[in-house]
């Protein structure tokens, strides 16, 4: 029987206090990894929770915070083997009504944050000769357009473009860079989006939920664990011949 053992790996996951990031963290801990959960919602700069778990306060839009967090983490544990960029936010509005500060905020966290954290960690990996993994949590919104989500879609298209470039440039260093494109995942952010989207479209959140389910061939929306399973595969030796990929986890909703 094949099992995935990450007991010798140090993993940094951004946006890990809830949602997809937390789901990935939970599964990686089960696989034995040392996991640092980084999130702007954590109060302490660095807190050891257990032998295998740490919490980091991290604003992914601030390079100096990222550099400090990475230095602190690697000084306490080992160099980072796996980075999961899961930090992400969204706002809802029709394209012609998107406020400039909402555009800037979503692009800063989703696109700039992925670029900054990846850059800092990739430099550490190359400096220390680590054959690492970078896993970017993009979205099927990085391949399609969805009403009331213009800034979010733009940010996730940017994540996919940057994933491909990093994959090309870091391949010779033994660093594999891939993205996961989740579909509709039941997270606190998705529940808030249904409320906001319902107001914009004159519907109820329940109607939005039913609409979501009707678009998925498998007949249900995803749970964070569905995404975490693919992240675990990408962090493992089983994906050793994959880089620059954008893997759909959408229940068949997106097929390209």
pLDDT over 80 (residue 65)? yes
CA distance 112 to 249: 23
Domain harbouring 146, CATH code = 3.40.50.720
Which pLDDT score is estimated for 141? 98
pLDDT confidence tier of residue 196, bands split at 50, 70 and 90: very high
pLDDT over 80 (residue 1)? no
Question: Which residues are within 8 A (CB) of 106 and not within 5 positions of it... i.e. 6 or more apart?
Answer: 89, 90, 91, 151, 152, 155
pLDDT confidence tier of residue 78, bands split at 50, 70 and 90: confident
Q: pLDDT digit string (tens) for 40-55? A: 999 989 999 999 999 9
Which pLDDT score is estimated for 130? 79
Number of folded domains that form the chain: 1
Q: Is residue 36 assigned to a domain?
A: yes
**Which of 115, 152, 209, 241 is labelled catalytic?**
152
Q: Which domain holds residue 102?
A: 10-185+223-245
Secondary structure, 3-state, 80-99: CCEEEECCCCCCCECHHHCC
Catalytic site residue 146? no
Residue 206 in 3-state DSSP?
A: helix
Q: pLDDT digit string (tens) for 102-137? A: 999 999 999 999 999 999 999 999 988 878 999 999
Q: Is residue 137 assigned to a domain?
A: yes
Q: pLDDT digit string (tens) for 144-170? A: 999 999 999 999 999 999 999 999 999
């Amino acid at each position: 029987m094949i099992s995935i053992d990450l007991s010798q790996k140090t993993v940094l996951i951004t946006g890990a206090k809830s949602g997809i990031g937390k789901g990935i963290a939970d599964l990686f801990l089960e696989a034995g990894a040392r996991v640092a959960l980084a999130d702007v919602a954590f109060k302490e700069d660095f807190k050891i929770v257990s032998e295998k778990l740490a919490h980091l306060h991290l604003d992914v839009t601030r390079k100096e915070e990222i550099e400090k967090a990475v230095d602190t983490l690697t000084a306490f544990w080992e160099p980072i083997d796996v980075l999961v960029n899961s930090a992400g936010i969204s706002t809802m509005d029709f394209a012609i009504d998107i406020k400039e500060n909402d555009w800037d905020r979503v692009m800063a966290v989703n696109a700039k944050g992925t670029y900054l954290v990846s850059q800092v960690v990739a430099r550490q990996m190359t400096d220390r000769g680590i054959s690492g993994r970078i896993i970017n949590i993009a979205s099927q919104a990085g391949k399609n357009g969805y009403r009331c989500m213009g800034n979010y879609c733009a940010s996730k298209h940017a994540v996919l473009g940057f994933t491909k470039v990093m994959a090309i440039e870091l391949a010779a260093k033994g660093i594999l860079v891939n993205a996961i494109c989740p579909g509709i995942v039941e997270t606190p952010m998705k529940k808030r989006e249904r409320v906001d989207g319902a107001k914009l479209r004159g519907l109820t959140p329940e109607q939005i939920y039913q609409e979501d389910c009707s678009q998925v061939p498998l007949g249900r929306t995803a749970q964070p664990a569905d995404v975490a399973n693919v992240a675990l595969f990408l962090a493992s030796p089983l994906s050793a011949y994959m880089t620059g990929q954008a893997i759909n986890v959408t229940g068949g909703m997106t097929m390209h």
